[in-house]
Amino acid sequence: MSAAYPDEPWRLAGEAFVSVWSVPRRALPRVPDVVSPLMIGGRAVVVTAWIDYTPPGQLSYHELLATVATRPERRFRSALAGSITEIWVDNEASRAGGRELWGIPKESAVFELDRSDGFTASASAHGEWIATASFTPRGPVGPATRAAFTIIQSVSGRPWPSPVRARMRARFASATWTVNPHGPLGYLAGRRPLASAHLCDARLLFGSTRR
C-alpha cells in the first residue's frame, strides 16, 4: 500500500540550491518520448537542484533532481517547460505521490546536508553514492520574484503536464559538484555548471487545481 500523500496541488515551502548545465544531446539520459529537449547549439539544458522542503509546506523532506528543459508548446500554456529524468527523495509520501499523481520517477535516497559553511550535500541510494555538491552563496538576496513553468512527464504513453507556480528570493552562488561517473547522473561527471543559484524563502504550488 502506498504511503498517504496530499491531493494535488501540493503546497510546498523551503529553499533550493540550483545549477544549470549544458549537455550534448548524445550524452543525455533517456527523455520521455512525449517531449523534445530544447536544443541550443546542439546542446541540451539540464537543471539540477538540491531542495530542502520545510514547514509551512504540506511535506518536509530532502530532494535531488535533474530536469531536462523541453521545447515549449502552446497547449501547455507555459513558455518554460521541462521533464524530470532523475529524482530522489527521503520521504515515502513524496515518492508515492510523485509517481502516482504525475508520473515523476521518484526514487528513495539517503541525504546528508551540512549548513555550517555555505551548503554541502550528498545523496546515496542502495549503498552507492550518487553525487555531492558544495554551494557558496554570493552577493545579496534579491527581491521576491514569481515564476511559472510546466513539468511534463509521460503517463500511459501520453504527455502529463503539471503546472508549477513559485515565489522565491534568489542570489547567485558558486558550486562544486562531484558526480559518480557510474551512477544515474554520470552524464554530468567531469562537467562544470554554467551557473548556480541559491533560492530561498520559496513557496511552490505544484500540480493542477482542475484535474
Secondary element (H or E) of residue 158:
strand 158-179
Query: 10-206, which class in CATH?
Result: mainly beta
Identify whether the C-beta of residue 68 lies closer than 8 Å to the C-beta of residue 37: yes
pLDDT along the chain (211 residues), means of 10: 86 98 93 91 96 98 97 71 97 97 98 94 97 96 96 94 96 98 97 98 94 76
Question: Could you tell me which residues come within 8 angstroms of residue 210 by beta carbon, excluding any fewer than 6 positions away?
Answer: none
How much is the pLDDT for 2? 63
How much is the pLDDT for 77? 62
Cα 132 to Cα 122: distance, rounded to the nearest angstrom: 4
DSSP helix/strand/coil, 126:
coil
Identify whether the C-beta of residue 105 lies closer than 8 Å to the C-beta of residue 86: yes
Can you give the pTM of this predicted structure?
0.95
How much is the pLDDT for 1? 44
Domain edges within the chain: 10-206
How much is the pLDDT for 3? 79
Question: Could you tell me which residues come within 8 angstroms of residue 93 by beta carbon, excluding any fewer than 6 positions away?
Answer: 3, 4, 5, 6, 59
How much is the pLDDT for 170? 97
How much is the pLDDT for 53? 98
Cα 129 to Cα 154: distance, rounded to the nearest angstrom: 27
Residue 11's nearest CA partner among 54, 57, 60, 51 is 57
How much is the pLDDT for 209? 84
Q: How far is CA 50 from the centre of its chain?
A: 7
